[in-house]
Structure 1
């Protein structure tokens, strides 16, 4: 068993930070806040942290238990991200606005799939091959501290940017999110929907 290693933690932290991309998700968070009226930063961070830890230690087993292929999981996450991107870019309303959604917006879609999404979950499984679980867990915890801080500062960022700046960022990051969703879909759908070649 590998020992506690700060170098491994730093490497895992960097990879997860890039995948979670909480800074790039600020416009999406602002959009969700507009719809929900309030976002519970601590709740979202804790739920995302728990989901990531559960998937880190039991992800493959849980998916196998439920009969869900990791590729199917990733494709499902990509479709949700695609819907969010469409809202940001085209101004369409895909997520129904009701009180139930307002109450759970900090969990869905913020904690999952924006923070602890299919890309993050897949990354966690991949990291297990290279790094010790304890080091990955610490890296996850450090990332969640940054996530919590960013969520707490969203209102200040919103005031700093103004309506015009937010509108521009929403379009730009909507396109980026769309590209991420398409890539995630393309990377996993090919194998998921692969058919055996027909014998001639």
Structure 2
């Protein structure tokens, strides 16, 4: 019966072989104390070769020497690094594809692609927000064709809001009017 066939929560007693029993008895005679709480122990060798022991039994001497029991498996670090790089490249390619889709969808709404730090979920959320904004934007663009009085606000403030939120000057002025010239609230509304 293999480990995969044992149901979870079943009481299973692992019976060590004779050599393991003898070694553990000698360890106890030497005064080594068992340390609990280790889930994995790794040993690194030159050439990025790693030996890993999952669920080990670890004993420690008073002098700080450790003895580890368990099944050692060879872990090739070069292979892990290559797999990690491939996964990272695939993730970057996926993010780039999402950015391109977001920027093409945002071209009508006036928003550009976001920075590299955003996750795929955040980009998907932005894309759905852009789709909703595009519908509302089409109606609002018809209204924005009219001229709006910008004289009561500093042109630098208006330009800053337009630059940060990628909206038209008319929308920026409307937001400033709505918030009585408060740039922070106008930026938050348009973001």
Q: TM-score, normalised by structure 2?
A: 0.24
| Max Rg structure | 2
Greater percentage in helix: 1
Greater percentage in strand: 2
Instruction: Select the structure with the greater relative contact order (CA < 8 A; seq sep ≥ 6).
Output: 1
